[in-house]
Structure 1
Amino acid sequence: MRTPRYFSIAIFTILVIFSNTSFSQKINESLLLKNWEKVDIKRPDGSKIFDESLLNVNFDLNFMSKDSVRVNFGGRAQDFHFMVKDSVLSFNDMKFKIEVLEDISLVLLLQNEYEPSQSYKFIYIPKKLNDLTFTPRSYVSKNGEIVYDYVPNRLEPYFMSKKMMAMEYIFENFQFPDFRKGGFVVRFVVTEKGDVKGVRIVASSNDKFNNKLIMAVKKTQGKWKPAEYLGEKVSVNMEYDFNLDFTNAEVSSGDSLEFSKMNYEYATEFFQRGAYMQAEKYYSKALKYNVLNIDAYYQRAATYILLRKKDEACQDYQQLIFLEQKKAKTLHDKYCN
């Protein structure tokens, strides 16, 4: 399945505290007003990052006016008001130091003084310029329209949502019975106008559920912003593969990370409602798909504590300690000694 790569949403909730260091650079805010595509992410000192979940995710910024920015993140998009003051770009409670702002270059520093490991430097170039570096595959539809193949983080329409990626939204509306196993592949086109067309099932383990999946995809109508290529809005052919424990075959890394995130969010909803047995089930599913889902370990351990399963909670805290998570040692000392 070709879906946006998982990237911890924690980056959106970091409390960023800046020093009073001033910049000699004079910011020309008019240079911001373009569609910027992230091409790299590094540590604040310029060190290379090896975490693929960080490197592969998009975090693109489309400054549409002097106070409005569209943030394209992990396959979904959201619009915010922004402001620039003293070389600091602010939106959605996030603050970035503008280190470089030129016609073809933007460098932003997201710095967390309390958790230096969660500080990042984002490097951008104009999307239109970056589009020149690759040639996506395309075909001509029956009505003569050019349709491009979806390229994660490079050529994709964006799902306008605060909470869900498109795949999560479709899965939720699909309402496939949890006790069943199944496999489905669905394709559809998001047009240059943002419409959803040509929804079709190309693989199915149970045809009687096909219409439900088609209807779930059609419910995304009105929630898409079209993809852009070389500065023009274009139609893109999308494909989602819902492998619901249908086979024992290994899922791809992209699939597993996506399913891990999806199950983590389901678990958290149950946790918040006090349905701890269901929460435990879905946190375990999240870890099945991604054994490095740190948040899932923490939350499952908390769930075990509430379910009075001390030994299981302590095992999760031990695993977190093994994964060099400092907070886990404190929690292990509190509940396990």
Structure 2
Amino acid sequence: MYETDSSEQAALRETIRDFCRQHADATAWKRLTGELGLTALAVDERYDGMGATFAEVAIAAEELGRVLLPVPYLSTALAGAVLSDGDRAAAEAFLPGIVSGAMTAAFIFGGIAATDGRLDGTARHVLDGAAAGVFLVRVQDVLYTVRAQDTIVEAVGTLDQTRFQATVTFQGAPTLVVGPDDGRAENLMRVLIAAESAAAAVHCLDSTVAYLKARRQFGRPIGSFQALKHRCADLAVGVASARAAAHAAVSSAVAGTADLAVMAPLAKLYCTDIFWRAAAEMVQLHGGIGFTWEHEAHRYLKRAKTSQLLLGAPSELRRLVADVAGLR
């Protein structure tokens, strides 16, 4: 339980964490959508959703990100929330499949052109795009939906084997309009990436500290060595700050305040940076086993690096934050 969780949110977090301990396998997606209903969290009750808030979606993202569960949750859960607030025709067409888990979704935030309600262009590095049933595509200030069967989808190899990407080509693809979008959907995705990155960084720190307590050298645990204590202490400060940044961004998203345009890229920038540092220290401080393929450290390192580059590399996000905040 986090200090900021309500009693209901703490129960949700513990339920998801228990699930991840037991079902991190090929059946995970079917069970977390069917039994737990996680893709229905932020969907309005009129569409058979749970009517929860973005905060509950972020909790699920944290717990799934903590164990790097290879499921398309971020994109699909966010699609459910966005469609629930959008045009009724698009919502009725796609929300039943999203709520049940039968359909997954992916977002595209640029590089596509719209003419008379049809889309053309090619989008690369589409998160969760390889198996998506529907794409939510922002063109200028409008968000459209396109069925995957009306596109050309090519799965691409990625550094992170727990998260899949695709190249998606549109050739006059027919659409349904979700509604206006001034960048909010992209910022909400940045917030979810920040939340899961902060949670994954916590896992990296906890795993490393546990190893340093158990590994003995010169007759005592290596965690008692002053130099390693300092490294862990510095990392703990960064991880705590990342959690705070992610929570602030989630709160801004839930409240619908204008500062989300700054908070989202800032939280994503900071949390993925701390995640990268935590994963790198996890590799280093586990010593020889940290460099092996069999140990989990390499998976966290790869997720951290790809998360840094999604929806804006660090240099791009710094410029974006400066521009939106009026700092240059």
TM normalised by structure 1 equals: 0.28
Q: Relative to total residues, which structure has the larger strand share, 1 or 2?
A: 1
TM normalised by structure 2 equals: 0.29
Q: Relative to total residues, which structure has the larger helix share, 1 or 2?
A: 2
Flag the structure with larger Rg.
1
